[in-house]
Amino acid sequence: MKLSDGIIQKVIASQLNKASKTIDDKINAFNKMIDTEGPYTFDFPIFGKKADLNLTMTKAPGVNGDLIKLNFNGLFDTPQGEKPRTLLPSHDEFPEIH
């Protein structure tokens, strides 16, 4: 048991370091995205070039036991560089918030 315990410990330690680096890299990429935020930063295409889903959060996430509640804007926007379509507002049509 002692030999296998040492091997298991080494595997866990090496994988934790890799996981930690991966998590740090993802957080740094997200922080960079926030630093360069623009009107389309949180728009994600879900219907190709037809509509982008705005994933801006309308309020902070809530936690209730094992449940995490995320409150997304949920509006569909005209994709950047596309002509506005009926019923889909473009970012130019929204008033600026100061």
Q: pLDDT per position in the chain (98 positions), as tens?
A: 566 778 888 888 888 888 888 999 999 998 888 888 887 888 888 776 677 888 888 888 899 999 999 888 777 777 777 776 655 555 555 545 44
Total number of domains in the chain = 2
Residue 97: inside a domain, yes or no?
Answer: no
CA 52 to chain centre: 14
Residues 26 and 52 in one domain: no
Residues 44 and 84 in one domain: yes
Residue 8: inside a domain, yes or no?
Answer: yes
Distance CA 95, CA 75 (A): 15
Distance CA 77, CA 75 (A): 6
- Look at residue 79 in the predicted model and tell me its pLDDT: 76
What residues make up the domain containing 26?
1-36
Residues 5 and 25 in one domain: yes
